[in-house]
Amino acid sequence: MTVQDVRGKEFRLSDGTRLQDLLDVENGYISARIVSDPELYELEMKKIFARVWVPIAHVSEIPNKGDYVLRYIGDEEVIVARSEHNTIHVVLNACTHRGMPVCRSERGNSSHFRCPYHGFTYRQDGQLIGVPAHKEAFGEALDKELYHLVQAKVAIVYGLIFATFNDNPPPIDEYLGTMKWYLQMMLQHTPEGMEVIGVPQRWVVKSNWKLGGDNFVGDAYHTFMTHYSAVQLRIVPSGDPKFAYYGVHVSHDNGHGLGLIGAPPEVELPRFYGVPEDIAKKIEATLPPGQQKAFERLAYIHGTIFPNMSFGYFSWATEDGKAPGSYLTLRQWVPRGPYEMEVFTWVLAEKEASDAWKHLARETFVRTFGASGMLEQDDAEMWSNITRATKGFIAREKLNFIYRMGINRKPEQGDWPGPGTVYQGDYSEQNQLNIWRAWARLISE
């Protein structure tokens, strides 16, 4: 994947601007227009969200037959449901008759979905199974067998549920590529894997949806300033302002990327994020050696699965004198127009772990990330203000963001055991450019 993919296409916006003039990936400049243009927002819905695999839920959220949750692909609501045959289905939450949402409870358990408008009834997989007064109303003119809520394809990867309305999507393994190795490490390092604790937190930030993914995929550098309060208060246990530098920055095909941060050699880190001994034993027995080596000595992972699902695997101390807690968080940046997103954020812990470990994970998460999180509060402040400052005509026309950090650095595997394009030191903007490359390729296709 090179800049040629962008340059080769002559995609033009309605005012005649060539897409390639908004992104100079080679030299590391991206026009502010890309995070604020309503025309681009419409193109994203059509060319990105309607085409790629979008992670939207975790299997542990719908453990039983008939369980369902409502989620979003792009800005459109979908039902994620588990059928009587234990298969997972994703359908658009809009009736085939006139488009009324057939499910209006954000989670629950049901053998069917009944439309409140005229009563068409659907199975969990979206098949139409009931039409009131069928004989008098439609008679022969309607064959139930033929109708189905608009159906997405579904793929499950280490418990994460992906869906797409693309009729011919790439195989999911091909789409995730080398990112999959890291998903296994985070989501399936014990036999039962991770489980969502409770439900996601949801709130609205007046930010373009892409700023969340751009931050999480590679912006280790912002921690130095945005999260300096966490350093001062020793929420970052080492108290080192450059805590997010000591690691690797890894890009994958199709825009995915992550950073994995440990600590300088002289700083001690608890094994496997400090999991209790019984879980550590399970990790040893479950994870292949490469992932085990990578996972053994980490304190922070941040990353994004293109287009809008980010994750963090963090360790923080939220009370003086109390051992740090660790957790995995997933977060989806759901677009709600060019200037607003809804944040969904989940916290996960090993399914087999004790209640005490899960409780510590939840407590540590809520105090550091999520709506009230002592770190995340300040991220939201950045992104909403960026969106406010860049949606005007002058910013769109004249402001180019600098993405030059690490631009002259060559990939270097070092002793990192994982795949992908690996850079040493996590202060870099290569992952961010990698997202923009994938974004531009899809928009221009």
Partner 1 sequence: MTQKTQANISLGDPTYLKLQGFLQEEAYLLDQGAFREWLNLLDPEVRYVMPIRTTRERVHGSGLVDQMVFFDENYASLKKRIDRLDTEYAWGEDPPSRTRRFIDNIRIKQLDERTYEVRSYFLVLRSRGNVPDYQILSGQKVDTIVVYDDGCKLKHRLIYPDQATLGVENLGIFI
Where on the chain is the footprint of ligand FES (CB under 6 A)?
95, 97-98, 100, 115, 117-120
Closest CA to 309 of 287, 332, 343: 332
- Residue found under tokens 């969990």: 124
Q: Which one of the spans 121-129, 131-139, 202-210, 378-386 is the region binding Fe ion (CB under 5 A)?
A: 378-386
In whole angstroms, the minimum distance from the beta carbon of 412 to Fe ion comes to: 26
Distance of alpha carbon 69 from alpha carbon 334, whole angstroms: 15
Residue placing its CB nearer to Fe ion in the complex, 61 or 379? 379
Using rule CB under 8 A, residue 100 touches partner 1: no
Which of 280, 371, 395, 422 touches partner 1 (CB under 8 A)? Answer: 371
Per-residue x/- marks for partner 1, 227-256, CB under 8 A? xxxx-xx-x---------------------
Helix and strand totals (H; E) in the chain: 14, 22
Residue nearest to Fe ion as judged by C-beta position: 379
Residue 355, judged by CB atoms within 10 A of its CB (0-12, 13-18, 19+), counts as: exposed
Determine the length of the chain: 445
Cβ at position 97, least distance to ligand FES in Å = 3
Contacts of 364 by beta carbon, 8 Å cutoff, 6+ apart: 314, 316, 318, 324, 325, 326, 327
- Choosing from 320, 393, 394, 408, the residue that interacts with partner 1 (CB under 8 A) is 320
Shortest distance in whole angstroms from residue 70 CB to partner 1? 9
Written as six digits, the tokens of 378 are 């300040």
Does 426 participate in binding Fe ion (rule CB under 5 A)?
no
Is the omega angle on the peptide bond into residue 307 within 30 degrees of 0, that is, cis?
yes
Options 4-12, 173-181, 263-271, 371-379: segment touching Fe ion (CB under 5 A): 371-379
**One symbol per residue from 35 to 74: x for binding partner 1 (CB under 8 A), - otherwise; what is it?**
----------------------------------------
> Considering only residues 300-319, where is the footprint of partner 1 by CB under 8 A?
318-319
Q: Considering the rule CB under 8 A, would residue 206 count as an interface residue with partner 1?
A: yes
**In the range 350-369, which residues lie near partner 1 by CB under 8 A?**
362-363, 366-367
Distance CA 96, CA 326 (A): 45
The answer for 129, left when phi > 0, alpha when psi is -120 to 50, beta otherwise, is: alpha
* Apex 18 CA angle, 15 and 23, nearest 5: 125
Do 328 and 346 contact (CB within 8 A), yes or no? no
Output DSSP code: residue 61. G
The answer to the question of residue 197 lying near partner 1 (CB under 8 A) is yes
Cβ contacts of residue 138 below 8 Å, gap of 6+? 131
75 is an interface residue for partner 1 by CB under 8 A: no
Q: Which does 115 bind (CB under 5 to 8 A by kind): partner 1, ligand FES, Fe ion, none?
A: ligand FES
90 binds, among Fe ion, partner 1, ligand FES, none (CB under 5 to 8 A by kind): none
Instruction: Identify which range of 160-168, 319-327, 377-385, 425-433 contacts Fe ion by CB under 5 A.
Output: 377-385
Produce one character per residue of 262-293: b if its CB has 16 or more CB atoms within 10 Å, e if not: bbeeeeebeebbbbbeebbebbeebbeeebbe
Side-chain half-sphere of 397: how many Cα atoms within 13 Å?
A: 4
Of 46 and 388, the one with the shorter C-beta distance to partner 1 is 388
Degrees, nearest 5: CA angle 424-428-429: 140
**One residue of 61, 379, 426, 429 binding Fe ion per CB under 5 A:** 379
Cα gap 239→128, rounded to integer Å? 58
192 vs 378, beta carbon nearer partner 1: 378
One of 25, 35, 205, 405 touching partner 1 (CB under 8 A):
205
Closest distance between partner 1 and the C-beta of residue 372, in Å? 4
User: What is d(CA 334, CA 73) in angstroms, rounded to the nearest whole number?
Assistant: 8
- Our finding on whether 201 is near partner 1 (CB under 8 A) is yes
Given Fe ion, partner 1, ligand FES, none, residue 320, with its beta carbon under 5 to 8 Å by kind, binds partner 1
By beta-carbon proximity to partner 1, the closer residue of 177 and 241 is 241
* 96, 148 contact by CB (below 8 A): yes
Which 8-state DSSP code applies to residue 353? S
Residue from the set 332, 384, 430, 432 that interacts with partner 1 by CB under 8 A = 384
* Contacts to partner 1 by CB under 8 A: 104-108, 197-206, 225-230, 232-233, 235, 318-320, 322, 342, 347, 362-363, 366-367, 370-374, 376-378, 380-382, 384-385, 388
* Contacts to Fe ion by CB under 5 A: 379
